[in-house]
Amino acid sequence: PDWATMAPEALVDHLEATHHAYLHTELARLTDLADKVATVHGARHPELVGVRDTYAELRADLEPHLMKEERILFPLIRELVDPGGAPTPHDGALEQGPIRVMALEHDRAGELLAVLRERTGGYEVPEDGCASYRTLYEGLAELEADTHLHVHKENNVLFPAVIAIEHAAGG
């Protein structure tokens, strides 16, 4: 699908089915891998303890963030434009409240992803890295790429569209 031209409610469905579903699966899997790799290789590669801890912080930020989007923001977006296409006024509440908070949380996730990239040396597996080590770094690199695309879709496509609808409705 061409998400850049989707209606906001369709884009919300796409985000949940694609990026949120991915994160709900990957966050737990990568936690297990990060714990395992830090335990096995941490003595020889002390940076792995920092990788594990930074990843744990990222997960601790992302899980409530996803919940807020799924339970608060996305239902409000769906309500803003009902199936008949009639906007429901929100008096700018989405722009000033949930959208602003989500954008700030996106910035924090980006900062943590940058720390992970730096601590892993760009996800470069050392010669003595095992299959789990490789799988962890591949997973972290994929998580970073997916999260950047996910955030781009929200910050640069969804949020501006919702704000425009809200403004047009008198919000």
Q: So what's the pLDDT on residue 168?
A: 83
Strand partners for 87 = 81
The first and second tokens of residue 127, run together, are 């010669």
| Mean pLDDT of all residues in 142-156 | 97
DSSP element (H, E) containing 38: helix 21-41
Alpha-carbon distance of 122 to 47, in angstroms, equals 13
Task: Answer yes or no: is pLDDT of 92 > 90.
Answer: no
Taking only the tens place, the pLDDT of each residue in 6-46 is: 999 999 999 999 999 999 999 999 999 999 999 999 999 99
| Longest CA span, the chain | 61
The three-state secondary structure class of 45 is coil
